């Protein structure tokens, strides 16, 4: 009895094992079919993909009633967080030094305070120029002093000449007052001639003094202009030296600029052009996403579109946003890329300054409404036969479903518009 009982138990176990093997084999046998989901390729047979048993059972019980509604497709943009407002540090526009070599930079990402030294440039040549300018100014000051002394000396000489001419005229006039009867004719004429000569000498002395006074200011102005030019040159050099030492104008995080000549970030030792951006201190409250858009997708975007933004560095953090700006001209996306793309700026609904940092990679999901109140069905309910015709399976029973050819409209991520072939309210079954 025990042997027979054990034998029966063994037979039952073998039957269960055999049944399971048959089920497993049937699940992995590729089924021949003439339809496939649209947009997944043009092969005539579906690939041999193992389907779990519970999914097969659920598919047999799934049905869809055709309805109307919106057909949407999500447009995904990639970009990064950038500040709309920031304090930009540029290479100085020096009048005396055409090369700007960076000698000091605060570490990127460091939090700086207003008034803190953040950037320095090489000022060696400016220091040398300052020494020369100081020497030139000292020489100009000495020239002004010397010129003034020389002019005052000339004035004294001219005043003496004027006084001598006046005295000579007075003496000549005294002799000219002598009675003619007391003098010979020749002597009388000589005294009259002396008076005329003295008058001419006096007029000449006065003229020389007048000319001197008229030219005095102009002579002093010449040397004073030279002095002023030397002073101005020294101030320019000192101003340029001051430009080589840059302090932070506000508190914030310190970010390096792009060195487009070397296809990398700016670093110590770089010699950059005047006006080129060296670094920036962004206003963290103005962070926004700058995304990059291909020209084929650019036409589908418009200002005011709502979107959802996620961040690679912050899993699970999603923020709503609005497209506020679309560029009209394409530009390079990066240093090594020749591919040009348009930019889309997204204003975030909320900015968490503790979590969000400039440069974070962001993904912008923009839902596009392709059609409204459209007759539609999910993708898995629409197939394509060997001739490329779209069809659905309709009816009341999955075992007796009919094949109905349809024409499609717009294709969304989940739903596809059916422009003709079926109507709202009809029941569809999945396409195997």
For 220, the 3-state DSSP assignment is helix
Q: Which two tokens stand for residue 188?
A: 């009388």
Query: Which CATH number is 86-120+248-282 given?
Result: 2.40.50.100
9 vs 246: which has the higher pLDDT = 246
Q: Which residue has the tokens 């920031």?
A: 86
Residues 6+ apart with CB under 8 A from 164: 205
pLDDT in tens, 294-339: 887 888 888 999 999 999 999 999 999 999 999 888 877 665 566 7
pLDDT in tens, 89-119: 998 887 766 678 999 999 998 889 999 999 9
The pLDDT of residue 336: 57
- Contact (CB, 8 A) for 71 and 416: yes
The model carries a pTM of: 0.53
For 78, the 3-state DSSP assignment is strand
For 267, the 3-state DSSP assignment is coil
Q: Give the residue extent of every domain in the chain.
A: 38-83+284-432, 86-120+248-282, 124-243
pLDDT in tens, 158-178: 999 999 999 999 999 998 888
For 189, the 3-state DSSP assignment is helix
What are φ and ψ of residue 126, in 5° steps? -70, -35
- Contact (CB, 8 A) for 191 and 176: yes
Residue 284 pLDDT greater than 90, yes or no: no
Q: Which of 118, 86, 126 is nearest to 102 (CA)?
A: 118
Q: Enumerate long-range contacts of 187-194, CB under 8 Å, 24 or more apart.
A: none
What are φ and ψ of residue 63, in 5° steps? -145, 160
Cα–Cα–Cα angle for 13, 26, 399, nearest 5°? 115
d(CA 183, CA 187): 6
d(CA 193, CA 187): 10
- Contact (CB, 8 A) for 258 and 136: no
d(CA 195, CA 176): 7
What are φ and ψ of residue 280, in 5° steps? -155, 155
Which CATH architecture does the domain made up of 38-83+284-432 adopt?
Beta Barrel (2.40)
Taking only Cα atoms into account, the Rg of the chain, rounded to an integer number of angstroms, comes to 49
d(CA 381, CA 391): 9
d(CA 409, CA 406): 10
Cα–Cα–Cα angle for 273, 276, 279, nearest 5°? 130
What is the mean predicted confidence (pLDDT) over 3-29? 40
d(CA 282, CA 87): 6
What are φ and ψ of residue 317, in 5° steps? -95, 115
Q: Which two tokens stand for residue 12?
A: 């039952």
Label residue 365 by pLDDT band (50, 70, 90): very high
Q: Which two tokens stand for residue 386?
A: 């060997």
Label residue 181 by pLDDT band (50, 70, 90): confident
């Amino acid at each position: 009895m025990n042997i027979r009982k054990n034998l029966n138990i063994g037979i039952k176990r073998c039957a269960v094992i055999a049944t399971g093997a048959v089920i497993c084999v049937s699940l992995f046998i590729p089924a021949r079919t003439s339809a496939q989901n649209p947009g997944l390729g043009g092969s005539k047979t579906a690939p041999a993909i193992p389907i779990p048993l519970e999914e097969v059972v659920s598919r047999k019980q799934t049905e869809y009633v055709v309805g109307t509604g919106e057909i949407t497709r999500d447009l995904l943009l990639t970009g990064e967080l950038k500040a709309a407002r920031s304090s930009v540090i540029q290479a100085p526009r020096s009048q005396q030094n055409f090369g700007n070599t960076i000698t000091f930079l605060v570490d990127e990402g460091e939090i700086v305070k207003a008034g803190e030294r953040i950037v320095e440039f090489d000022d060696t040549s400016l220091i040398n120029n300052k020494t020369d300018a100081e020497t030139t100014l000292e020489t100009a000051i000495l020239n002004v002093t010397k010129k003034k002394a020389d002019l005052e000396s000339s004035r004294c000489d001219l005043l003496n000449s004027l006084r001598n001419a006046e005295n000579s005229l007075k003496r000549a006039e005294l002799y000219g007052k002598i009675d003619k009867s007391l003098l010979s004719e020749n002597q009388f004429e000589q005294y009259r001639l002396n008076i005329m000569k003295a008058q001419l000498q006096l007029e000449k002395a006065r003229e020389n003094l007048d000319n001197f006074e008229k030219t005095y200011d102009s002579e002093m102005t010449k040397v004073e202009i030279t002095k002023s030019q030397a002073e101005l040159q020294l101030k320019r050099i000192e101003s340029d030296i001051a430009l080589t030492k840059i302090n932070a104008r506000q508190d914030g995080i310190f970010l390096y600029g792009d060195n487009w000549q070397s296809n990398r970030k700016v670093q110590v030792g770089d010699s950059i052009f005047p006006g080129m951006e060296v670094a920036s201190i962004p206003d963290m409250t103005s962070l926004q996403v700058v995304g990059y858009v291909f020209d084929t997708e650019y036409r589908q975007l418009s200002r005011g579109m709502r979107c959802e933004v996620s961040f690679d560095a912050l899993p699970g953090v999603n923020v709503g946003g609005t497209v506020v700006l679309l560029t009209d001209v394409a530009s390079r996306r990066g240093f090594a890329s020749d591919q040009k793309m348009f930019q889309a700026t997204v204003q975030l609904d909320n900015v968490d300054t503790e979590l969000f940092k400039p440069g974070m990679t962001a993904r912008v999901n923009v839902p596009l409404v392709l059609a409204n109140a459209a007759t539609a069905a999910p993708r898995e309910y629409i197939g394509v036969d060997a001739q490329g015709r779209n069809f659905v399976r309709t009816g009341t029973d999955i075992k007796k479903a009919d094949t109905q050819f349809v024409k499609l409209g717009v294709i969304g991520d989940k739903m596809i518009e059916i422009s003709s072939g079926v109507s709202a309210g009809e029941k569809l079954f999945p396409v195997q």
